[in-house]
Amino acid sequence: MAGGKLSARQKMINMMYLVLTALLALNVSKEILKAFHLMEVSFNKANANVDKKNVSILKALAEQAKNRPEEVQPYYERALKVKEASGEFVKYIEELKKALIERTEGRKEPKEGEEVGQTELTEADNIELHANYLFKNPDDKKAKELTDKVNSTRDKLLGLLKDGGGVKIDASDKAKIEAYTNLKTAYDKTNYSGWAEMYFEHSPLAGVITMLTKIQNDCRNTEADIIEVLAKNIDKDKITFDRLEAKVIPNSTAVQVGSEYRAEVILVASNTKSDNPVIVGGRALPMEEGKGIYTARPSNQGVFSWSGSIEVKSPTGTKSYPFKQEYQAFEGGATISADAMNVLYIALDNPVSISVSGYSPNDIIATMSNGSLSRAKTGWVAKVTAPNPAGAVISVSVKMPDGSTRKMGEKKYRIKSVPKPESMFGTLESGPAPAAALLAQNTIRAVLPNFVFEGVTFTVTSYNALYVPKRGNAEAVAGSGAAVTAQLKSFITRAKKGDKVLVDDIQAVGPGGIKKRLAPIAITIQ
């Protein structure tokens, strides 16, 4: 029952559905099931948009029926019957979906920001359940019932386009709707199982629910087309409504970069044969039956605003009806990354980059478990004070325009201690060295070679040294702080080839008061 003039708008979605259905023959993967769910959500949003538009037109018709009852009331009553017939069908499909879902474990619990009843199905890959429900009963009762309901609803809606009772419909308008709702071959009552089997018997539950939601969407679109035809046929030559509003109905307010953003700009209950131009950016939009069609293809992410006006001609001049709309282009969810790998180090200021596509940094709210998170001049700083096998989780939400918050993502990090520094005798490591080289050194050092953080330092606070000559008794000296003591240098001054200098019990302190006992240094005089 999809509307002909809406088929172009939904061609991409319908093609995606066919592609996903074809892929099922190869593999029922999580990605395909996820794609079906995203399409279901998209169809539900489209249904809400179409229903909102229909309510606006019916409201305008109701007001006009009060002022011009003889002319408008018959069309208004016919439009109410159209909405009633469509509503009954949509309700029937909704009950069918509910019956199928209730035979499984239902839907997953909604996460923050998700609507109840719009989450993924728990048994999205189930193929047997709906096949049994629709086909494995006497005479395929449910499959036949569904097909008959589609046929009877189509016939009922087309029947409401007939002349009579004060309603007269232009023949060309009737022909257009009859042309794109002529689905008797696909929905032939004597061949219902072929159609039903094609879409429902060998698809997973996620695909079946999505297809049923699409059928609801088709019905709502047909309802919208017929109501618009009724509204425009009240008076073909002039605008008769005393209340006019510019309406912008986008297919979505958020699109992925590279995808098409599309919106219908209409004057509610206007004459589709009028030449009222829709102006955006100083140019007239292409028209489809009285509606200006605006398209854009963003090349980068962000929030984009656009505005214009509908110029309505009348005997007294031209009146302008302005409108304004915006949409968001996005590439993905929250981006969270640790600037020093996927690790947070105890006692350090760990720099973390956090951003959300399309949102200002001021709108971002970030929290962290097992630690603390604070804003810095160039990003965020994460701090942890103790080891934790559970790690730390950074969660990101954003403030929405209406004041609410929506969770956008989270990421888990490991918690590690800063590695133990290496000990050095000035610039010398353990091994052979000339006495002159030792005398040139002034401090015992603690170094962190190749550590991911720059500027992280440890300071030696004490050590014990031992001079061991090849002949004679060993002599010891204790150092307080990192400086090489005068007594130790005097030992080295009289050292001979083969003598040893040992530095042991080296104590060092680092960031946050971290204390480390370093490995000893052993140097043989050359």
The single-letter DSSP state of residue 339 is: B
pLDDT, tens digit, 9 for 90 and up, residues 5-37? 444 444 555 555 554 554 444 455 666 677 767
pLDDT surpasses 60 at 340: no
Q: What share of the chain is helix, strand, coil (3-state, %, to 5)?
A: 35, 30, 30
Q: How far apart are CA 515 and CA 509, in angstroms?
A: 4
Q: Which residue has the tokens 């996620």?
A: 206
pLDDT band for position 394 (50/70/90)?
very high
**What is the dihedral angle through the alpha carbons of 76, 82, 88, 91, rounded to the nearest 10 degrees?**
-90
End-to-end CA distance of the chain: 95
Q: What's the pLDDT score for residue 41?
A: 77
**399 vs 331: which has the higher pLDDT:** 399
What average pLDDT does the segment 169-181 reach?
79
Q: What's the pLDDT score for residue 371?
A: 93
Structure tokens belonging to residue 40:
């279901």
pLDDT surpasses 70 at 508: yes
Alpha-helical segments (H) within 118-170: 128-135, 141-159
CB atoms within 10 A of CB 284: 13
Query: Are the CB atoms for 195 and 187 separated by under 8 Å?
Result: yes
What average pLDDT does the segment 148-156 reach?
86
Structure tokens belonging to residue 412:
């888990």
Q: How far apart are CA 243 and CA 132, in angstroms?
A: 53
Q: What is the mean pLDDT of the chain?
A: 79
Query: Are the CB atoms for 57 and 269 separated by under 8 Å?
Result: yes
Name residues whose C-beta falls within 8 Å of residue 86's C-beta, 6 or more positions apart in sequence. Answer: 153, 157, 219, 220, 222, 223
Encoded amino acid at 459, one letter: T
**414 vs 297: which has the higher pLDDT:** 414
**3-class secondary structure, 421:** coil
Beta strands 317-330 and 254-256: pairing type? parallel
pTM for the full model? Answer: 0.42
pLDDT band for position 501 (50/70/90)?
very high
**What is the dihedral angle through the alpha carbons of 294, 290, 242, 83, rounded to the nearest 10 degrees?**
-90
Structure tokens belonging to residue 271:
């004459």
pLDDT, tens digit, 9 for 90 and up, residues 94-143? 888 888 888 887 778 777 766 656 777 777 777 767 667 777 665 447 77
CA angle 358, 364, 366 (to 5 degrees): 135
CB atoms within 10 A of CB 526: 12
Q: How many residues are listed for the chain in this entry?
A: 526
pLDDT, tens digit, 9 for 90 and up, residues 427-456? 999 999 999 999 999 999 999 988 878 888
Encoded amino acid at 142, one letter: K
**10 vs 329: which has the higher pLDDT:** 329
Q: How far apart are CA 209 and CA 106, in angstroms?
A: 12
**163 vs 299: which has the higher pLDDT:** 163
CA 333 to chain centre: 5
